[in-house]
Structure 1
């Protein structure tokens, strides 16, 4: 108990120190922002006996990309993705909306207890189920698809690979470390093959958090692993540009794996030189604030507030079937048009960037309306996760597929249209997958006795 108290006290002390430092750099709103994100980071890392903290992860990524990265960006001389406003002014707009987002989520925060997930251990066919999901996912990971309409299905189906490994980690906790390394190792090879590492990072978070829960990893070890992960992400960021240049444009014909790790090891050995050279680039890469600040600079000075138009388009795009509404707006081209309209920044052909939910909320409703909307968005995420949790009362598989359903919901850099499109379609996809599994894999439901105050998972 004393150890837990010391850990908690140390965590709050670190947050207080960061807040005081932030005040000297960014004023009252800067210190509030850093303090709020610090609280989210601590809450996220210390989660125990809770199935994947999806909402907390959305808050964490939002805080890092909307508040922390912009904060550090003001201390660099990066001229490519520079901030368009002074630090105090940017934080004065951003921090109230972010805190409203936090309050909306935390007031209605769902409780995804691990006791429900533990019921999968009672399934006689759980191991068989995980094997099927891993094999299907692996097939779709390496399946070549040239038809654009099928790419979305391919992506969703390939993610079954990770769900299979997550189930395995719960069913065979003594082998969870092996499954963690095996799953992420295969995805790393796939990322090296394609030169795209985003999925590795997101699924890495999901699988590491699962590993934490399965093994009841203590707080100090969690913090150490997160620090090591940030170092790894930084090193990865330092080699991505050179690696992609070689395999995408220079027709590199050698071993991609060997080439990638040679770059990685070289940068790790020369970390001090690399840090001074790549630090600004890495901060800029994760800084969503440069886009948000352009929205602040452009609206309403050069363009009227959009009054919720992009949200109506997003809802229609996600809900209306294309075969009945062939002219409905899509996430790709429409997101690009909305970006140009809100920021006044013209993207080169073939380039796409996201506005972020926070930036889009300001562009539609202004500071006050945007703050209210961010509160509502936090409530929506909490209620949506609770909705999936309620579905799992009848079929516990729903809760296992939550990472796929919420894969875009947690992202801080994309538009509402991309979020809703993914979320709606992934719910339909997961529903179909669960239906098929129920008919192809028998006795998936754990058999438990039904009691008055217990959730019943039996047939």
Structure 2
């Protein structure tokens, strides 16, 4: 392996250690983001280079030396900047038990989320994102209720996890289940302060579950999209058991030949960007960055040419690869950084992006000090930010718009609903 590959492995291991150490002491959302990015941008590609999947499309388009000489320095700058900015605000000196005073508010927030989860789809398309944010209030409410003195209200926290799992099984989409379960685990750790060994054991068990899920989910999707008429829950459980107990290759027959690492490896898309730009497409010099900023600031009504979410447009533009209109693939922020600014400029951009996210964290940290209930909204605000495969327009749009919705809701609750946050 190249020297940058070893440095990349070491940096991801360090981030993983930081994440584990801060569980139970803080809310390591940015550390989780860095860990996911490291796994998908560095570890997944290294596995692919060592043991190629031989898939006709999902392969590394450039050499390991070329790939790692850009991605690892960009990841290191991104990581170091964030760690330096937030280093004094990584632990939470706040007493989260104060949330038990807001159980009634937590229940109302939960019901708002449940309402929009059930009926938000009836709203016009222009309000779809607004409905999506409010539908996730059910998870915010569940976090607040987890600290309730009422056992019945506290039970809602666990019922929400079960509800999320069941809806994920019915839809065949498990990304949000994994992310929200991780967020819930952070709050569980803050409440019970588990030992490092217990955290490590839990994370390993969670990792085994996720790997098993990744192996089974494509086989599951293949069957339910083929007009499966049986019990979906039973089908899912059987495939999970098969994935855990038998060799992965036996389950992969229903998986179109795509192995687990292809699902982890975001690097094949990033490498396609490195291969396509500037050989077939000139660097975009910040065009998509500017579009993302305007899209985040202006609503579609005032910005009719606003970039659409889903990644199809940028994927084709940055990689030169074809993608069907029904498929969603993101080039990731690090791929977008290279496509706009080349290697050195892309590394600098990742530093600025890390600085921005660190400043946002400090801003929200100050808000939590003023009003403890804000801490329950943090996972919602960072829901898209922590996804390593997502491009800037999606991340920035969600980050800005969700913060606006949350702050407007808190203001409305204080001003018109007379909620008292000084209990």
Do Structure 1 and Structure 2 share a fold, with TM-score over 0.5? yes
Whether contact under 8 Å (2:60, 2:268) holds in the other structure is yes
Shift of 1:35: 0.1
Q: Which residue of structure 1 aligns with residue 405 of structure 2?
A: 429
> Does residue 415 of the first structure (1) align with residue 380 of the second (2)?
no
> Does residue 64 of the first structure (1) align with residue 42 of the second (2)?
no
Whether contact under 8 Å (1:127, 1:171) holds in the other structure is yes
- In structure 2, do the counterparts of structure 1 residues 400 and 121 end up closer, same or farther at CA, with 3 Å as the change threshold? closer
Shift of 1:113: 4.0
Which residue, 256, 269, 285 being the options, matches 2:232?
Answer: 256
Q: Which residue of structure 2 aligns with residue 285 of structure 1?
A: 263
- In structure 2, do the counterparts of structure 1 residues 428 and 144 end up closer, same or farther at CA, with 3 Å as the change threshold? closer
- Say which SS state the counterpart of residue 413 (structure 2) adopts: helix
Shift of 1:96: 0.4
Listed as ranges, the gaps of 5+ residues in structure 1 are: 1-25, 448-459
1:432-443 map, 5 Å: 432-439=408-415, 442=418
CA-based RMSD of the aligned residues comes to: 2.5
Within 2, Cα distance between the matches of 1:173 and 1:374?
45
> Does residue 134 of the first structure (1) align with residue 110 of the second (2)?
yes
Within 2, Cα distance between the matches of 1:122 and 1:201?
26
Which residue, 336, 353, 360 being the options, matches 2:336?
Answer: 360
Q: Deviations over 1:301-350 (max 9, x none)?
A: 22211111110011111112332332333334xx4222212111121232
| Normalised TM-score (structure 1) | 0.84
Which residue, 146, 149, 159 being the options, matches 2:136?
Answer: 159
Q: Which residue of structure 2 aligns with residue 104 of structure 1?
A: 81
Whether contact under 8 Å (1:76, 1:280) holds in the other structure is no
Q: Which residue of structure 2 aligns with residue 246 of structure 1?
A: 223
Shift of 1:47: 0.5
Q: Which residue of structure 2 aligns with residue 295 of structure 1?
A: 273
Shift of 1:263: 1.8
- In structure 2, do the counterparts of structure 1 residues 218 and 274 end up closer, same or farther at CA, with 3 Å as the change threshold? farther
| Normalised TM-score (structure 2) | 0.91
1:110-121 map, 5 Å: 111=89, 113-118=91-96, 120-121=98-99
Aligned residues: 417
Within 1, Cα distance between the matches of 2:419 and 2:67?
55
Q: Which residue of structure 2 aligns with residue 268 of structure 1?
A: 244
Which residue, 296, 305, 313 being the options, matches 1:327?
Answer: 305
Listed as ranges, the gaps of 5+ residues in structure 2 are: none
> Does residue 386 of the first structure (1) align with residue 362 of the second (2)?
yes
1:160-199 map, 5 Å: 160-172=137-149, 181-199=158-176
Whether contact under 8 Å (1:73, 1:280) holds in the other structure is no
